[in-house]
A and B are shown apart, each in its own frame.
Chain A
Amino acid sequence: MNLINTLIAGVSIGAIYSLIAFALILVWRSTRVVNFAQAGQAAFSTYVGLSFEKAFNNFWLALLAAIIAGVLVGAFVEVVIVRFIVKRATSAATVTVAPVIAMLGLLGIFQGVMGLIWGGEYQAYPTAFSRDGLTINGSQIPFSQNDLFVLLTVVAAMSVAALIFQKTSLGLAMRAAAFAPEVTRLSGIRVSRIRTLGWAFAGGAGGLAGVLVAPTTFIAPNSFDLLLVFGFTAAVIGGLDSLIGGVLGGLALGIGLSVVTGYLGGSYTFMTAFVLLIVVLLIRPQGILGARGARRA
């Protein structure tokens, strides 16, 4: 396998890591909580998509349903659970630990509920496009129509997000609330509502990522756990505070892991990601693209 092919093979999965990293960073910026339940939220949204797919046999309707489900679940989680937890956990010893554990509890509930509703076995998720490699100059490359679709969808989603963040007053409020919630409140903005929106957007991104990745990984209640770890790694590479950093981190991780898999074999994929995560955390804790050493939080 030549190098170019291995690089190409990592792009579309990297785009999906970017999407998960984006969701984690959005929540982190709005609430200073790493949403480990995102794996459950994304899987739940994907199951909703699958139900629509089965009922109406329409990929696009299912995609839309999954995104909307993600948005609703994200907002629900923030309003009903996160708000309460963050308000309660105020002492130095609990402020960082309690939200993390709460998110794990939530992940457990999600996975259990999914198991009850949809069963525990792996289910196939259909695609709208062929998953056979494209042929260029008579030779097949490890990049399919579906990979192209994934890549373009993620690019489109990110462009919309960038437009919202940079060009609208909502985006301005979201960026301000991420870095200086108190000043933002004193500017007359309902920061709690901004926070809910952050979770909703992140949930939508998770739902989209789920539908994009499910044809490859299949869908089961816990099938996105590894995706979450990769997304977290990508987010940390990017610096956890920087949306662009997270997106680039996801692409870099996807391509990097594809190279490792191509040359050393699939069993080293996870090891590489884990070592990468630890190395980045230790050597450049602010992330490759992060600006400041704000790792204590």
Chain B
Amino acid sequence: MTLRVRGLTIDHGAIRAISNATFNVPRGSITAIIGANGAGKSTLLRTISGLKRATTGSILWDEISLEHLQTEQIVRRGIIHVPEGRSVVTELTVHENLMLGGVWRLRAQKEDVAAAIEEVYQLFPRLNERKKQRADTLSGGERQMLAIGRGLIARPQLLLLDEPSLGLAPLVVEQIFHTLSELQGKTGMTILLVEQNAMSALRIASQGIVLDQGRVVIADNARAIMNDTALRHAYLGY
């Protein structure tokens, strides 16, 4: 299953966020979308998960077009979006947040939801220690783990991660990215990772897509992008 984006254009009122973007996200890989603040990265993810509507263009997953489906229907096709800003429900406990990720399939697959929650606790033991605490008592890194964990409960085939490193200490970022990389290797899921922290993202990704002011300027092998000094200077600023 490949995610194919074809001629996608997205507008925010009068502002064009994404302009005629075309790219593929190959199955079973980590693809990093990188670019400066305001390049349209988050808007792209929000459109894939159905929170926002595209102006024109198509998004195909498993040869089915997503652009007219509701968010809930997209989730049910195994596409899980973990939005920016450690998006957990702060008023719920850690365990309830994880439960939330499985509510939609609780009736049919109760055992599997319980198993998935167990797996997340093994993946992030800190969450297990705090499972009865309200999510607003967690540290930033723990919240990000919980947000990703909530996404994993659905057993995603395509995981959309928006800036998981935002505002976290380098060591915590390292840990989360390492876990993601391992997880991908184990489950074979596809991860589309949006990051401003280009170095960390490209290191675990196999493919990189560089966005600049809503346009796809490069779509290439991650290593090639990392090694292209001119490109790095022009778009990534280091």
Contacts and interface: CB of A to CB of B under 8 A. Distances in A.
Interface residues of A, number: 17
A189 B89 contact: no
Interface stretch (B68-76, B168-176, B203-211, B212-220): B68-76
Nearest to B81: A186
29 contacts: A169-B106, A172-B103, A173-B103, A175-B89, A175-B91, A175-B92, A176-B89, A176-B96, A176-B100, A178-B91, A179-B89, A179-B90, A179-B92, A180-B88, A183-B88, A183-B89, A183-B150, A184-B89, A185-B51, A186-B49, A186-B71, A187-B103, A187-B104, A187-B150, A188-B75, A188-B105, A189-B72, A189-B104, A190-B72
A132 interface: no
A182 B154 CA distance: 16
Contacts of B75: 186-188
B101 interface: yes
B12 to A, nearest CB: 13
B221 interface: no
A176 B92 contact: yes
Nearest to A170: B103
A172 B91 contact: no
Interface string A188-199: 111000000000
Contacts of B100: 172-173, 176, 183-184, 187, 189
Interface of B: 49, 51, 70-72, 75-76, 80-83, 87-92, 96, 99-101, 103-106, 150-151, 154
A83 to B, nearest CB: 14
Contacts of A186: 49, 51, 71, 75, 80-83, 87, 151
B92 A187 contact: no
Contacts of B71: 185-186
Contacts of B72: 185, 188-190
Nearest to B134: A291
Nearest to A169: B103
A188 B106 contact: no
Contact of A188 (B51, B76, B89, B96): B76
Contacts of B101: 187-188
Contacts of A185: 51, 71-72
The 3 closest A-B CB pairs, nearest first, are A188-B104, A188-B75, A180-B89
Contact of A183 (B70, B76, B83, B105): B83
A178 B89 CA distance: 10
Interface string A154-180: 000000000000000100110110111
B103 A189 contact: yes
Contacts of B96: 172, 175-176
Nearest to A185: B71
A296 to B, nearest CB: 18
Name, among B75, B103, B104, the residue most crowded by chain A CB atoms within 10 Å (CB to CB).
B103
Name, among A173, A176, A187, the residue most crowded by chain B CB atoms within 10 Å (CB to CB).
A187
A242 B150 CA distance: 25
Contacts of B154: 187-188
Contacts of A180: 87-91
Contacts of B83: 182-183, 186
Contacts of A189: 72, 100, 103-104
Contacts of A182: 51, 83, 87
A294 to B, nearest CB: 11
Nearest to A177: B89
B103 A188 contact: yes
B106 A183 contact: no
Nearest to A166: B96
